[in-house]
Amino acid sequence: MALKQSQQLKLSQKLLPQQILLMKLLQLPTLALEERIKEELEENPALEEEAEQAATEEELYENDAEGTIESDEDFDENADHTETEIKSSDNVEMEDYMGADELDSYKYEVVNKGPDEETRDFVMAEGIGFRETLEQQLGLKDITDREYTIGTYLIGCLDEDGYMRRELELVVDDLAFNLNITATEQEVESVLKVIQTFDPPGVGARNLQECLLIQLERKPEKTKEVVQAMEVIRHHMDEFSKKHYDKILKRLEIDNDDLREIIAEITHLNPRPGNSDTKESSFSAVVPDFIVAVNDGKPELSINGRNLPDLKISLDYKEMLKEYTKSKDKAAKEASGFIKSKIESAEWFIEALQQRYSTMSLCMQCILEYQNDYFATGDESKIKPMILKDIANRVGLDLSTVSRMANSKYVQTPYGTFLLKTFFSESMSTDSGEEVSSREIKNTLKDLVDKEDKKHPLTDDELCAALNEKGYNIARRTVAKYREQLEIPVGRMRKEI
């Protein structure tokens, strides 16, 4: 077949770089947005903070006052000229890419605390890490240099829970390839046994059963409960993990009181010894993206932007662009193109931030009006069924835009801080035909589980029947789905002696 060329016309939709940037910024929570702004400030020299620009002007002012100004009259004249020039440049800059009305709405709320509110500074102390602690203990042991090298490698193989998940056979191969040490599996296991004597107890175990046994064996007093607990973990671990207590009672020939003491002994052990380290165990603080306050029974919304700086285009880059544009030199034209691209990129970024702020305010205000009864009273039974489509239709935005807005965002209310998506729930009908939120059904389900007899926990069928008696038309499979979403185990796993 011969090759030939032909022309075709077709319609296609493509996203502009500005639209892609807006979508990426819209789905970022407050903490991630702070990091994104810092990255943009580092990568784009044409983008500056308002405070940073003001500091630069102040430095120029001081330098002129010290070196170039010889009289008070000259000083005043230069100061007036500088101030006029800055004001004029500011006006040109803002009007270039957004209207005056948009400027006021772009300003983020910075002051979230009153002048008399107490401010406390916290000092964070940092010590050595989990693996460094184990290596220190290894150095105190009377072992050879070869064993120390093997032990150091084994410590490096421990996971964040303090377990040795890697097969010793593979560790032997790693030692041969990486450290040129020819060792046997028995030699590696003997070094691992040394590590298992370290603190915290249970570190270096290869599974949960071994971890619990190590901790029980290191108990200073081998009481009756400890000995029986070791027997349960060593020979009846499967039955214990599945809470088949009847089998354990029969095989050990003990009563319920003895089993209760054994369970208490085991539950006080640490199943994750690696997480006891204060340096490597991390926690994430929840920073709310929206703040809802109730004044005189009326909810009021504000956007949390306390750490978000006011951004602007660098005046120096604007002046350089004017100078290079006047020149006809080839190098000057290339520099002009580079500076222009940086300024345009900064303008896009600032405009995307402003649009993000406007979109979040619009959507959250709509949610606030939709769920006004809840935000005004805090009564969760007043939460209305609400899906993303309801908000998208009201604000006139695409469903994906509303989804990105609600993604990973938190709202702070007088009743607590919640993930925004928890307020979105499907509607279900009661026997009376009234529509209720699935969140209300989940709360009722949780109450039933909390009040159940733990010796005879309710099954999913019994929970379904109890919900039906309360007027909720719900199937057993839906009960199982809601139970899993609430992270409630099945009835057998909730059983207590």
- What is the SS3 assignment for 163-230? CCCCCHHHHHHHHHHHCCCCCCHHHHHHHHHHHCCCCCCCCCCCCHHHHHHHHHHCCCCCCHHHHHHH
pLDDT number for residue 431: 62
pLDDT number for residue 224: 86
**Stretch 273-298: mean pLDDT:** 72
Domains of the chain as residue ranges with CATH: 130-276 (no CATH), 290-423 (no CATH), 427-494 (1.10.10.60)
- Cα 356–Cα 44–Cα 99 angle in degrees, nearest 5: 45
- Lowest pLDDT segment from 131-135, 192-196, 326-330: 326-330
Confidence of residue 282 (pLDDT cuts 50, 70, 90): very low
pLDDT number for residue 55: 47
Smallest CA-to-CA distance from 375 within 336, 412, 338 is with 412
Q: Which whole-number Å values give the CA distances from 338 to 114, 289, 343, in the listed order?
A: 45, 35, 9
pLDDT number for residue 382: 82
**Stretch 392-410: mean pLDDT:** 89
Is pLDDT at 85 greater than 50 in this prediction?
Answer: no
Residue 439 or residue 103, greater confidence: 439
Residue 431 or residue 190, greater confidence: 190
pLDDT number for residue 66: 47
The percent of residues in the chain predicted with pLDDT above 90, rounded, is 7
pLDDT number for residue 432: 61
- Lowest pLDDT segment from 143-157, 307-321, 420-434: 420-434
- Lowest pLDDT segment from 222-236, 270-284, 434-448: 270-284
pLDDT number for residue 325: 79
Q: State the chain's mean pLDDT as an integer.
A: 78
Which segment, 35-39, 68-72, 323-327, 429-433, is predicted with the most confidence on average? Answer: 35-39
What's the pTM?
A: 0.54
Is pLDDT at 215 greater than 50 in this prediction?
Answer: yes
Confidence of residue 8 (pLDDT cuts 50, 70, 90): confident
Beta bridge partners of 300: 293
Which segment, 79-83, 114-118, 300-304, is predicted with the most confidence on average? Answer: 300-304
pLDDT number for residue 284: 55
Q: How many CB atoms lie within 10 A of CB 33?
A: 19
Give the per-residue SS3 of the chain.
Answer: CCCCCCCCCCCCCCCCHHHHHHHHHHCCCHHHHHHHHHHHHHHCCCEEEHHHHHHHHHHHHHHHHHHHCCCHHHHHHHHHHHHHHHHHHHHHHHHHHCCHHHHHHHCCCCCCCCCCCCCCCCCCCCCCCHHHHHHHHHHCCCCCHHHHHHHHHHHHHCCCCCCCCCCHHHHHHHHHHHCCCCCCHHHHHHHHHHHCCCCCCCCCCCCHHHHHHHHHHCCCCCCHHHHHHHHHHHHCHHHHHCCCHHHHHHHHCCCHHHHHHHHHHHHCCCCCHHHHCCCCCCCCCCCCCEEEEEECCEEEEEECCCCCCCEEECHHHHHHHHHHHHCCCHHHHHHHHHHHHHHHHHHHHHHHHHHHHHHHHHHHHHHHHHCHHHHHHCCHHHCCCECHHHHHHHHCCCHHHHHHHHCCCEEEECCEEEEHHHHCECEEEECCCCEEEHHHHHHHHHHHHHHCCCCCCCCHHHHHHHHHHCCECCCHHHHHHHHHHCCCCCHHHHCCC
Q: How far is CA 58 from the centre of its chain?
A: 39
Contacts of 444 (CB under 8 A, 6+ apart): 467, 470, 472
**Stretch 444-466: mean pLDDT:** 86
pLDDT number for residue 1: 60
Confidence of residue 464 (pLDDT cuts 50, 70, 90): confident
pLDDT number for residue 106: 37
Which segment, 16-25, 166-175, 421-430, is predicted with the most confidence on average? Answer: 166-175
pLDDT number for residue 74: 44
Confidence of residue 307 (pLDDT cuts 50, 70, 90): low
Q: Which residue has the tokens 């500056």?
A: 48
**Stretch 75-90: mean pLDDT:** 40
**Stretch 157-183: mean pLDDT:** 88
Confidence of residue 80 (pLDDT cuts 50, 70, 90): very low
**Stretch 79-107: mean pLDDT:** 38
pLDDT number for residue 444: 85
**Stretch 329-344: mean pLDDT:** 84
Distance CA 365, CA 287 (A): 19
pLDDT number for residue 394: 92
Is pLDDT at 102 greater than 80 in this prediction?
Answer: no
pLDDT number for residue 285: 66
The single-letter code of the amino acid at 131 is R
Distance CA 485, CA 443 (A): 12
The single-letter code of the amino acid at 36 is R
The single-letter code of the amino acid at 141 is K
The percent of residues in the chain predicted with pLDDT above 70, rounded, is 80
Which segment, 41-45, 70-74, 328-332, is predicted with the most confidence on average? Answer: 41-45
- Lowest pLDDT segment from 247-251, 281-285, 318-322, 394-398: 281-285
Beta bridge partners of 47: 313
Specify burial of residue 141 (Cβ count, 10 A radius: 0-12, 13-18, 19+): middle
Q: How far is CA 60 from the centre of its chain?
A: 42
pLDDT number for residue 306: 67
